Each structure stands twice: as structure tokens, then as C-alpha cells.
Amino acid sequence: MAFLTGDIVPLNRTEHGYAAIEGLAATMVQPYLIRLDGPVDVTAVRRVMRELVTAYPKLRAKLEPGWHRYHLRILPDDDIVDQLFDWAFRIDTQVDLGDPAQVEAWQRQLINEVLPLERGLGLRVRFAPHPQQPALLFGVPHILADGMTMVQLVRQILRGLNGQSLEPMPLEAPAMIGSIAPHRWWQWPRQLLKARRHKVAEARRLATLHIQQVPTRLGLHYSTTGLRLYEATTGTAELRALARQAGVSLNTLLIAALTQTFLEQAPDDPQAAAVIRISVNLRRFYPPEAGHGPLWGNHVGAFLVIEQDAHKPWPERLRSVDACIREGQARYERREMCWTYLWDELVPWLGRTLIGHIGVQLKRKQRFPVISCHATSLGDANAVNEPGASVRAAQLFGVVNSISPLPVLTEMNGRLFVPTAWQLSETSHAEMSDFLQRFDRTLARLVSEARPPGATLRQRAPHGGAA
């Protein structure tokens, strides 16, 4: 087992999983696309991205085998890293940034790129110059950063482009068990029992349901990842007003609309269910006395939202989804998620080969957990722009390679973007586009039904990338 030293960083249980399935599902690359609101010099972009490799040491880490478990080794910030960076940085002048289909294809290339994790420098950078809105595309493997860390990297890039110094991003590598362990040692038996009861009850319920999905054709192998940079036709101001009227968050409203869209695929099936995995930031669940810092890396948990009955009235749907989300988060607060996660903490001791073998067998036997999708959110992406900044992000599309369909709900400048990644071997571009368009129509219908009689709904033209 590795311990955090000057250049060795141990992997947590999630990161061991990413290392093990890297051969099965390819590198879990997170390509983030930033459209800037003004021209930027290529030299400045290159300088800032090289400084980012210095500021966040994990970007120059390589995956290295120990005696039994893998760990990260941070490379010295020297000429070898310079050479690797020269290979990772590219100017792309052939992309027509005014063509949504070309932009989508550009980002899709990076999400499917395989990075040699055991050589070092977990970063790929593509910059497309433009006189008004240039685009910066950079990809980082999930083993090095979760969504919160990626957003911080975006903030750092924008700081650099605005002439500010990049802030150091310290290395920390605590075991994730600290975020789910009971507050007192003697509480373990009771909390484990509560967590197990919930897990068993949830599994029994799922076994009786007909879980709704986009059209999915399971096979023995994966191929490549599909990508859609979808923009909803309804603006976030109208959606937020609808959520405020119902007393819920915008994110809750969007999750409820996703469940409704799935359930309308089988309106007359009483066993039909929408099952959506929701990501949870675990950082706030570590005890304060542990003295952790920002915890850049991977600190994410998840729970399920399970909804039934396509005919459920919308106010009741919102209340149900809101209650489910609140309860899922509360189980982390009450330390009632430790049953599954405690076993997960033991899995890395099986070793990368055996974990990878288990993943291969799950795929071949089609035994991966069945869900409708895994939804995550960047929230209001305008937060990446600092007040008074001269260079600002006008758009931000963040996605990640995923085994299950994964929409990333993103609000920016009054617009809702739903960049979505999925396994192309299982679902076609046309089928995913159809689902996103139905989700879009669900949002528009809900806003329209909430409007006073005689009012009209202003909509943008639908945009679905190359659809």
C-alpha cells in the first residue's frame, strides 16, 4: 500500500476502479470545452496550460505499480514534462467554430482519445483560434480529477488568461472511508445495519421494476463514446421560475423532467420505472477535525432516484423527486451509506488484474447495474468567471466517458445545455438525439402548462449538434 510522500500519491477506491477498467471501457477522459468571449493569443494559452501542469501536480502523474496495488507517481517538473506537454498541446485551425456539428465532432475526438496513464501527463489540449470566440478544449482522465476538480481547473485557466497567477492545488489523498464512517467507533454496527437494510430493500424493489432506458443493445464489447452537445429550447429563467414556484431547486426540476421523459416511454406499464443515479460531492462529509483542504482529486458518491407512474401529477412528481433527493443526501449526513462503501474500500486489495477481470465478466454476462441514466450537474457555470475579468468563458461544455448514458446539466447565460455521453455500441446517435428532444419537449410543456392562459412561450430553435 502506498502512502502520500513527496512524489507518491495513493489511489482511493474510486481511482483503483478507473485504473482497472481502463482497458475495458478505454480511458475515462473528461473533455471540457471553453468558448471564450474574445480573442486570445496562442502563446498565452500555451503558457497558461503549461503553468496548470505545475499548479496541479496530478496532471504530471503517471500510474505506477507497487508491490500489489497501483499508485500515482508525480513526475519532476522538468524537461521530460516539457516534452510530454509539447506532444499534448495542439493548435487546431481546421475546426469551423461556427458549425455546431464540427464543434461536437471535435470534442468527441478527445473524449475517445486513449491516454497512456503509465507514461505520465494526464492532459490533452486543443486550441482553436477565432477572432471573436476562440475555443479551448482540454481533457483530463477521471482518475486524476472529478467534476469539482475540473471546474477548479477551468477557473485556474481563466485566471491565467486574465494575467493572474495560478493558485497551487495541493496534493491530498485520504481514504474515502472518512466520508462515510460513523462519527463514533461504537456506532458502526447500528449504521451498518441501517445501511444494509436500505440497500436490500432497494435491490428488492429494483428487481420488480421495468427500468426505462434509451434503446440499448448490450454486447460483449464496447466501441466508442457518443456525444451530443444539446441545448434546450427553453431558457433557464423560465425553468427557474417554475422551480421557484414549486419550492424546489432547478436541478430537482430537471431531474424530475428526466424521470417523466423516461416514464412516458411506457405510460401503461405499472411496473415501469425511471432510475437515475445522482452524483454527490463527498467533501463536506469528511469530519472537520481531519483537517483536510480542498481535496482535489476524486471524492464522489452516488444514490438512486427511483420514480414510477407516468400519470403522476406534476406537483406530486416534483415533491416525490425532491423528497428522494433530500433523503439520498440525508443518508450521507446520517452516515447510513457505509454498507456498500465499506466493501468498496476492500476491493482495491484484489488488485488491478482481478478487478479488471470482474469488470470484463460483468460486461460479457451483461450484469452491470441497470439504470436509466447517470445525471450530474455543473450548476450555474457562470461561476467560473471572476468579477471584472476581461477574458471570460461564454460557454462551458463538460462531459466524461461513461458506461451508462450521462447527461451533464449545465446552466450558462440563461441557457440550459445538456452535453451527453454514452456508449455508441449500445445506442445510436439518432436514438440519443430523439431522447434529448423528448426531454426538451417535456421541459417546454411543463413551462407552457404553468403559464397563465393567453401567455406565449418564447423558445430558441432546437440545437442538437450534428443531429
pLDDT in tens, 118-168: 999 999 999 999 999 999 999 999 999 999 999 999 999 999 999 999 999
Q: What is the mean pLDDT of residues 65-84?
A: 95
pLDDT surpasses 70 at 250: yes
Q: In 3D, which of 310, 215, 316 has the Cα closest to residue 264?
A: 310
Q: How confident is the model at residue 457 (pLDDT cuts 50, 70, 90)?
A: very low
Taking the C-alpha atoms of residue 349 and residue 317, their distance in angstroms, rounded to an integer, is 42
Listed in sequence order, the DSSP H helices in 172-308 are 188-207, 236-246, 250-263
Q: How confident is the model at residue 436 (pLDDT cuts 50, 70, 90)?
A: very high
pLDDT in tens, 344-372: 998 899 999 999 999 999 999 999 999 99
Q: What is the pLDDT of residue 255?
A: 98
Q: What is the mean pLDDT of residues 188-196?
A: 95
All cell numbers assigned to 175: 481514504
Would you tell me how many other CB atoms lie within 10 Å of the CB of residue 114?
11
Q: What is the mean pLDDT of residues 245-272?
A: 97
Taking the C-alpha atoms of residue 48 and residue 157, their distance in angstroms, rounded to an integer, is 6
Give Cα separations from 12 to 16, 67, 136, 174 (angstroms). Answer: 6, 16, 30, 8
pLDDT in tens, 392-435: 999 999 999 999 999 999 999 999 999 999 999 999 999 999 99
All cell numbers assigned to 216: 440499448
Q: How confident is the model at residue 460 (pLDDT cuts 50, 70, 90)?
A: low
Please, which residues have CB within 8 angstroms of residue 319's CB and are 6 or more apart in sequence?
none
Dihedral angle, C-alpha 41, 45, 47, 50, nearest 10 °: -170
Return the residue matching grid coordinates 485566471: 159
pLDDT in tens, 444-455: 999 999 876 655
- H-helix or E-strand spanning residue 382: none
pLDDT surpasses 90 at 196: yes
Of all residues in the chain, the percent with pLDDT exceeding 90 is 90
Q: How confident is the model at residue 22 (pLDDT cuts 50, 70, 90)?
A: confident
Q: How confident is the model at residue 456 (pLDDT cuts 50, 70, 90)?
A: low
Taking the C-alpha atoms of residue 211 and residue 434, their distance in angstroms, rounded to an integer, is 18
pLDDT in tens, 271-326: 999 999 999 999 999 999 999 999 999 999 999 999 999 999 999 999 999 999 99
pLDDT in tens, 29-40: 999 999 999 999
SS3 259: helix
Give Cα separations from 183 to 172, 173, 290 (angstroms). Answer: 21, 20, 12
pLDDT in tens, 87-115: 999 999 999 999 999 999 999 999 999 89
pLDDT surpasses 80 at 171: yes
Taking the C-alpha atoms of residue 68 and residue 348, their distance in angstroms, rounded to an integer, is 9
Taking the C-alpha atoms of residue 133 and residue 131, their distance in angstroms, rounded to an integer, is 6
Q: What is the pLDDT of residue 6?
A: 76
pLDDT surpasses 60 at 79: yes
Number of residues written out for the chain:
467
